[in-house]
């Protein structure tokens, strides 16, 4: 690894290598080492996270960069069982950017903040010469109040089953289909959504949640691989049970992608105690965004730190972390 | 009212678990009647990918063995061609356009991806026709289309040239590196270390060229061929068709992918290829020079040929290959990726040494990604 390439931002193997060899090495501390969606600070009371958004195109079916920037950070908090409360918003704008587009983006942010019951309480604006950034980059940082303690991707065990909240890959597929040059006619929409309402409902129903993670860059495959490593377990996925929309499957067929590696912005993965799995599905199914939630995998000890994909005809293979330059900027 | 064709109709039936299991049983029954191992070469990297991704070997008896062939356009590209692409990309006024994985293959000075990180304008497209838009939007630059691929992508390059001529475009040139399947297959079956007993022929090639291109293999060389689709059920059915031939002591050319393949192929596409391109010798990576296995623009289109226009800046010397890399043997079907000492340790998809690890259709990449649980 001598130079940073686009592959280093893929949410997969190269991305992890860059983070661990450069950032974790320098910033090493016990909170960061847990590698959770958000850091748990203040004696477990608060969750704290940050994310930058550089998606291209900035407006796409189902959302825009503004909605994405609030969902992304609030969802990282929600994944630690924390209610999103306070956000900062830092914007880098390319000279020449239209103000009415900026207003549309900021309005999307406002609507999404309301859904989370969160506020932007501090911010920063920079304008840079044309060509220095691609239109607009947004960074949001968030603090949330932990409502349920102990959710951790380091604690998944054979007492758990794995659930996915809805069909996978819609965001990645939408962004790819709307890329310049693709000229694809599709009704596909990004799954971009705030997940706190679902998480709150699960907590209120006393579902025994071990771990939660939104399947953003690197998709379902990255989440499951990270959990397998962090919790020292084997995750055995029933391939048939993983919900994927036909349009997403079609795009994957066309372009040679795997839906399991495509990004999501409103889909999360849950590890819940076996006895609570049915109830968790019931709770999730009551939400439009997660009406097709499914139990997709068992946790075993068959292969250490590995994800196994079981095909409907009885063959199996490892589901590896995505590698290489998958997509242009997706979040 | 007739039901409209839906997207999932295109693959659902061809991934049906019951059909897969039924074919596994039929193959097992027939293979048990044979007293030898049958080595089937899947010529195309797309088939390698299907075989590995869907765990096909796990469904087959131990006397059926796959040999991976030289049918991945990225894998067979020799280093000197990549060096040419690199040299073109590093010219200030050139936008180099190519297809997918090509940008990741390492050349003597690095890959096209490396050239891009040094400031070169390298782009990849899914359709060669996208070059028109790039050239129109960049009138002060020259677009060079680095054309790669077997019979399947060749007509698209011709179609692009036809449009360039019709529009009288002055800033779009071609560096043509198209190759054809049968000639390299012939070199393989004639080699002394050939272990191939039968071929799975790539269906998409025959959609263009017809099944006729495989006729010599069963007739002249006694190697059965089944032209197969790429879905897992297609592959299982094709394997069964091949094994049946051995049970019945036949050597025939058969088509499993009857959905689109005819004996003659797409005559319009063939005519277009004949209009713009001429057959030339191509140096396949690993296999070496194969007469009449490649295409270049006909002389009358020299003014669009980047090899002619940029002759002075294109490298002349033959680059050295990494001696530890077994890509040549793998492409010839005499070694498996796991026979290579650097497979999976020095050479990975993140840091590919050889082209077979670069392309998602490459045998090494397929083994690396899907192969860990194979028997």
Q: What is the DSSP string of A209-234?
A: EEEEEE--TTHHHHHHHHHHHHTT-E
Query: Is the CB of B275 inside 8 Å of chain A's CB atoms?
Result: no
Rounded (10°) angle between helices A246-255 and A170-177? 60
For residue A319, give how far its alpha carbon lies from the nearest alpha carbon of chain B (Å): 8
Residue A328 burial by CB count (10 A; 0-12/13-18/19+): exposed, middle or buried?
middle
Q: Roughly how many angstroms between the first and final C-alpha of chain A, as a whole number?
A: 24
- A316–B55 CB contact, under 8 Å: yes
- B350–A253 CB contact, under 8 Å: no
Query: Is the CB of B117 inside 8 Å of chain A's CB atoms?
Result: yes
Q: Which of A5, A249, A316 sits opposite B373 (nearest CB)?
A: A316
Query: Is the CB of B370 inside 8 Å of chain A's CB atoms?
Result: yes
Beta bridge partners of B282: B290
Give the integer Cα–Cα distance in Å for B248 and B252: 11
Helix (H, G, I), strand (E, B) or coil at A72: helix
For residue B294, give how far its alpha carbon lies from the nearest alpha carbon of chain A (Å): 26
Q: Which residues of B265-285 are buried (b: 16+ CB within 10 A; e: fewer)?
A: bbeebbebbeebbbeeebbbb
Mutate to test the interface with B, among A315, A322, A325, A326 (most CBs of B within 10 A): A315
Q: Which of A181, A249, A250 sits opposite B130 (nearest CB)?
A: A181
A31-146 folds as 60s Ribosomal Protein L30; Chain: A; (3.30.1330)
Domain ranges of chain A: 31-146, 160-318
* Six-digit token string for B71: 């049918």
How far lies A33's CA from each of A15, A20, A26, A130, A230, in Å? 16, 10, 12, 38, 10
pTM (predicted TM-score): 0.85
> Computed over its alpha carbons, how large is the radius of gyration of chain A?
19
Residues 6+ positions from A192 with CB-CB distance below 8 Å: A62, A63, A67, A68, A71, A171, A265, A266
Size of interface A-B (CB pairs under 8 A): 74
Give the integer Cα–Cα distance in Å for A326 and A15: 12
Site of tokens 């004639």: B190
Mutate to test the interface with A, among B22, B231, B370, B373 (most CBs of A within 10 A): B373
* Six-digit token string for A42: 């203040």
**CA angle A163-A168-A170, nearest 5°?**
155
Closest C-alpha to A319, from A207, A245, A234: A234
Query: Is the CB of B5 inside 8 Å of chain A's CB atoms?
Result: no
**CA angle A289-A226-A275, nearest 5°?**
60
Closest C-alpha to B279, from B137, B179, B359, B156: B179
Q: What is the pLDDT of residues B334-365, one digit of tens each?
A: 888 989 999 988 888 877 888 888 877 788 98
Mutate to test the interface with A, among B232, B349, B352 (most CBs of A within 10 A): B349
Give the integer Cα–Cα distance in Å for A173 and B47: 24
* Six-digit token string for B72: 């991945």
> Computed over its alpha carbons, how large is the radius of gyration of chain B?
21
B96 phi, psi to nearest 5 deg: -95, 125
CA A229, A230, A231, A236 dihedral sign is negative
Give the integer Cα–Cα distance in Å for A14 and B124: 21
pLDDT score recorded for residue B10:
66
Residue A156 burial by CB count (10 A; 0-12/13-18/19+): exposed, middle or buried?
buried
pLDDT by residue, tens only, chain B of 375 residues: 566 666 666 677 788 999 999 999 999 999 999 999 999 999 998 899 899 899 999 999 999 999 988 888 888 898 999 999 999 999 999 999 998 778 888 899 988 988 998 999 999 888 899 999 999 999 999 999 999 999 999 999 999 999 999 999 999 999 999 999 999 999 999 988 899 999 999 999 999 999 999 999 999 999 999 999 999 999 999 999 999 999 999 999 999 999 889 999 999 999 999 999 999 999 998 888 999 999 999 999 999 999 999 999 999 888 887 888 888 888 888 888 989 999 988 888 877 888 888 877 788 988 888 876 654
Per CB-CB distance under 8 Å, the chain B contacts of A236 are none
Per CB-CB distance under 8 Å, the chain A contacts of B232 are 313
B269: enclosing H helix or E strand: helix B267-276
Query: At CB < 8 Å, which residues of chain A contact B?
Result: 3, 5, 7, 13-14, 17, 181-182, 240, 246-247, 249-250, 253, 255-256, 308, 311-318, 320, 323-325
How far lies B148's CA from each of B126, B130, B288, in Å? 12, 15, 17
- B370–A318 CB contact, under 8 Å: yes
Give the integer Cα–Cα distance in Å for B48 and B61: 18
ipTM value > 0.85: no
- B117–A3 CB contact, under 8 Å: yes
Return the CATH class of domain A160-318: alpha beta
Closest C-alpha to A257, from B314, B360, B363: B360
Share of chain A above pLDDT 90, in %: 79
pLDDT score recorded for residue A46:
97
Q: Which residue of A has its CA nearest to B230?
A: A253
- A313–B7 CB contact, under 8 Å: no
Inter-residue contact B105 to B358 (CB < 8 Å):
yes
Per CB-CB distance under 8 Å, the chain B contacts of A256 are 100, 360
Mean pLDDT of A217-235: 95
Mean pLDDT of A72-78: 97
A139 phi, psi to nearest 5 deg: -115, 135
């Amino acid at each position: 690894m001598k130079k940073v390439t686009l592959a280093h931002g893929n949410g997969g193997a190269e991305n992890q290598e860059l983070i661990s060899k450069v950032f974790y090495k320098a910033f090493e501390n016990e909170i960061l080492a847990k590698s959770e969606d958000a850091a748990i600070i203040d004696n477990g009371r608060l969750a704290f996270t940050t994310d930058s958004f550089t998606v291209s195109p900035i407006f796409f079916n189902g959302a825009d960069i503004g909605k994405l920037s609030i969902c992304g950070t609030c969802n990282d908090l929600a994944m630690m069982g924390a209610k999103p409360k306070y956000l900062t918003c830092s914007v880098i704008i390319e000279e020449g950017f239209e103000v009415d587009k900026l207003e549309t983006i900021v309005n999307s942010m406002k609507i999404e903040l309301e859904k989370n019951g969160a506020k932007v309480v501090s911010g920063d604006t920079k304008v840079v010469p044309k060509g220095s950034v691609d239109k607009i980059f947004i960074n949001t940082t968030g603090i949330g109040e932990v409502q349920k303690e102990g959710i951790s991707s380091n604690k998944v065990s054979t007492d758990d089953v794995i659930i996915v909240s809805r069909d996978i890959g819609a965001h990645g597929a939408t962004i790819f289909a709307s890329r310049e040059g693709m000229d694809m006619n599709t009704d596909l929409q990004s799954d971009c959504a705030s997940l706190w309402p679902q998480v709150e409902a699960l907590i209120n129903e006393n579902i025994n949640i071990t771990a939660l993670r939104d399947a953003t860059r690197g998709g379902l495959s990255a989440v499951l691989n990270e959990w397998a490593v962090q919790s020292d377990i084997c995750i055995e996925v029933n391939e048939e049970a993983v919900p994927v929309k036909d349009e997403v499957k079609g795009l994957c067929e066309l372009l040679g992608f795997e839906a399991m590696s495509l990004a999501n912005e409103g889909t999360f993965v849950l590890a819940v105690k076996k006895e609570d799995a049915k109830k968790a599905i019931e709770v999730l199914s009551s939400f439009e965004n997660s009406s097709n939630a499914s139990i997709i995998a068992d946790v075993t000890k068959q292969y250490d730190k590995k994800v196994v994909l079981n095909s409907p005809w009885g063959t199996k293979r490892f589901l590896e972390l995505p590698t290489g330059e998958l997509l242009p900027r997706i979040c | 009212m007739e039901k409209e064709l839906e997207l999932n109709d295109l693959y659902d039936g061809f991934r049906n678990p019951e059909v897969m299991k039924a074919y596994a049983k039929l193959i097992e029954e027939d293979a048990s009647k044979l007293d030898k191992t049958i080595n089937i070469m899947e010529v195309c990297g797309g088939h390698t990918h299907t075989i590995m991704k869907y765990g096909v070997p796990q469904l087959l008896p131990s006397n059926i063995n796959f040999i991976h062939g030289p049918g991945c356009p990225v894998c067979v590209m020799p280093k000197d061609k990549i060096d040419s692409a690199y040299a073109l990309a590093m010219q200030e006024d050139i936008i180099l356009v190519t297809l997918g994985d090509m940008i990741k293959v390492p050349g003597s000075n690095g890959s096209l991806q490396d050239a891009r990180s040094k400031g070169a304008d390298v782009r990849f497209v899914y359709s060669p026709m996208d070059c028109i838009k790039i050239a129109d939007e960049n009138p002060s630059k020259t677009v060079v289309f680095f054309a790669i691929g077997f019979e399947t992508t060749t007509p698209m390059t011709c179609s692009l040239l036809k449009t360039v001529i019709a529009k009288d475009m002055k800033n779009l040139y071609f560096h043509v590196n198209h190759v054809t399947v049968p000639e390299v297959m012939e070199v393989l079956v004639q080699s002394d270390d050939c272990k191939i007993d039968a071929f799975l022929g790539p269906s998409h090639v025959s959609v263009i060229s017809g099944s006729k291109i495989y006729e010599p293999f069963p007739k002249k060389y006694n190697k059965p061929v089944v032209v197969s689709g790429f879905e897992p059920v297609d592959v299982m059915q094709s394997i069964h068709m091949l094994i049946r031939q051995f049970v019945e002591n036949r050597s025939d050319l058969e088509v499993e992918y009857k959905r689109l393949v005819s004996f003659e192929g797409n005559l319009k596409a063939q005519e277009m290829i004949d209009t713009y391109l001429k057959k030339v010798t191509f140096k396949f990576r690993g296999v070496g020079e194969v007469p009449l296995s490649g295409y270049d623009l006909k002389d009358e289109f020299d003014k669009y040929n980047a090899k002619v226009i940029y002759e002075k800046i294109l490298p002349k010397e033959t680059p050295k290959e990494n001696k530890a890399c077994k890509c040549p043997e793998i492409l010839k079907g005499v070694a498996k990726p796991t026979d290579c000492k650097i497979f999976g340790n020095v050479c990975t998809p993140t840091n590919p040494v050889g082209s077979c690890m670069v392309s998602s259709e490459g045998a090494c990449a397929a083994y690396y990604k899907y192969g860990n649980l194979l028997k």
